[in-house]
Amino acid sequence: MRNNPIIWADYPDVDVIRVNDAYYMVSTTMHFMPGCVILRSYDLVNWEVAAHVYDVLDDTPDQKLEGEKHIYGKGMWAASLRHHKGKFYVCFVANDTHKTYLFTADDINGPWKKSEIEGFYHDPSLLFDDDGRVYIIYGNTEIHLTELKEDLSAPKPNGLNRIIVRDTQPHYLGYEGSHLYKINGKYYAFFIHMPKNEHSRRTEACFTADSLEGKFTGRDIFNDDMGYHNSGIAQGGIVDTSDGKWYAILFQDHGAVGRIPVIVPMHWEDDFPVFDKTAPEYIEISSTRPEYRYKSLVGSDDFIYKPDENGKVRLKDFWQWNHVPDASLWSVTEKLGTYRIHSGKISPNLTFAINTLTQRTMGPACEAIVTLDGSELKNGDYAGLSFLISSYGLIALTKENDQYYLVMLARTTKDKTIFGNLVDSKPGEEFGRVPLNGSRVILKAHGNFEDGIDECKFYYQAEEGWKKLGITHNMAWKMDEFVGCRFGLFLYSTKEIGGTAEFSEFKYIIMK
């Protein structure tokens, strides 16, 4: 039984560290809130959520989905995670605000203190050198090294500032996704790379130097796709175990389910990293806590929550909102065991719906089941269960002329730009409709991601059992949203605000 890729879900742009007996891995979360997830492991194979670095990043109109504003394809990217002198550091840029953020904490669970680094550093990596100086490397094709002030607030005046690597060969993707380390007195910079060659797929590269003022030399060091559609495994961090073994955790594009992390054993020869030729399908690594039981990265929810001493409710770690939620328009305490969404804006489609509650989909296949009560819907409302992605599919309860219907919608998109300007207001095409006598229904969404099939199907429970509604829809990962598809519980209004949808008994099933 294979366990690599180590997580068959959307955790891209990973960086990984070890602190004592624990491993921590950060990943890109783009427009989802809370954001900048950090996972924890004791064996590099099994993972759980340790923390989200922030609940809300900047609370801008775009981040809040005001009107038809959004940050799809933007948000936080490719964080650098470091631990130095007892403090955790997370550094990343957000491509909507064009700022570089620095979060610090004494404990991985927070609280995290937010600040900014003057400038914009694409795919950054921090390095705390032995002499107390601090550096950041970043860029695409040309990789820059910039010395920072001691407090990391800005570039250091008259500090080191140079290009250390430049891709001068024909390429589809220049060096980027930087990860910088100092190991046994030498400096190592790792990158993702996509040269023009017979494979034309992404590879992992490494360059090394004896000093930061010296010449960096290197090459591509890993080129494998694990037999998956020529999709190269690259970009990520390296980490050592307490017994001296080394591993790289990289990611691989895996279609609609997203970009998923893969572990690759490595060792050192003549002070240069050597990766295993291929990523193993199964890997066994000694656990520092063999009896530890991990929380699931996805899961079911009965929506029974109690407010804390401050009157606030924090949902289970596997939930994230699509963009910043509006706290006045959702609740899990108004009615015990129910997630209630109130409509507060007119939206043309699912893409612009506020308070869509999401979980990552998980390969090779998974399904979600939820009970929906739409008795408080307004005419023109849509509430239901979706696979949230730009080429989304959904099943929804809607109300027209005071009559309830169950509909299945799906949408395809075509990329016009590389990063995130294609998010339109088209509602999607209706492929199925049935009238309902009541307003309560049990829905099911099934996704199959085996070998890039990337199909979703939708069902509702009838007296004779599950009945499929609409088509089997093909989803596609695209750069307009830049994330893998997710289950989403949603409500949006097309005619008038004020409607309410109630969700209960959410069940998540991973199909082995």
In this model, does residue 418 exceed pLDDT 90?
A: no
* Tokens (6 digits) for 306: 């109690």
Position 424 confidence tier, pLDDT thresholds 50, 70, 90:
low
**What kind of architecture, by CATH, is found in domain 15-275?**
5 Propeller (2.115)
pLDDT value for 211 = 98
DSSP result, 107-172 = STT-PPEEEEESS--SS-EEEE-TTS-EEEEE-SSEEEEEEE-TTSSSBPTT--EEEEEE--S-EE
Arithmetic mean of pLDDT, 417-446: 80
320-511 has which CATH code? Answer: 2.60.120.200
pLDDT for position 419: 43
pLDDT exceeds 90 at position 416:
no
Cis peptide before 124 (omega within 30 of 0): no
**Rg of the chain taking only CA atoms, in angstroms:** 23
Average pLDDT over residues 440-460: 97
Percentages of the chain per state (helix, strand, coil), in multiples of 5: 0, 50, 50
Per the prediction, the chain carries an average pLDDT of: 95
Please state the domain extents for the chain. Answer: 15-275, 320-511
* Whole-number pLDDT of residue 227: 95
Which of these is catalytic: 43, 62, 96, 176?
176
pLDDT at 413: 57
pLDDT at 479: 85
Beta strands in 224-336 (DSSP E): 233-240, 246-253, 259-269, 272-275, 320-322, 330-331
Q: What is the pLDDT of residues 180-223, one digit of tens each?
A: 999 999 999 999 998 877 668 999 999 999 999 999 999 999 99
Give SS3 for 290.
coil
User: Could you read off the pLDDT of 468-479 as tens digits, one per residue?
Assistant: 999 999 999 988
Give the confidence band of 410 by pLDDT, cuts at 50, 70, 90. very high
C-alpha to C-alpha distance for 172 and 175, rounded to whole angstroms = 10
Pairwise CA distance, residues 430 & 436, whole Å:
17
pLDDT given at position 205: 97
Cross-strand pairs, 367: 446, 509
Residue 421: pLDDT band with limits 50, 70, 90: very low
Across 32-36, average pLDDT? 98
How long, in residues, is the chain? 512
pTM score, whole prediction: 0.96
Specify the DSSP element, H or E, that contains 257: none
Fold match, 15-275 / 320-511: no
Q: What percent of the chain clears pLDDT 70, i.e. is strictly above it? A: 97
Q: What pLDDT was estimated at residue 414?
A: 53
Alpha carbon distance 331, 329 (integer Å): 7
pLDDT at 170: 80
Active site residue 13: yes
Query: Residue 118: how many CB atoms within 10 A of its CB?
Result: 12
Catalytic-residue membership of 198: no
Band of the pLDDT at 417, cuts 50, 70, 90?
very low
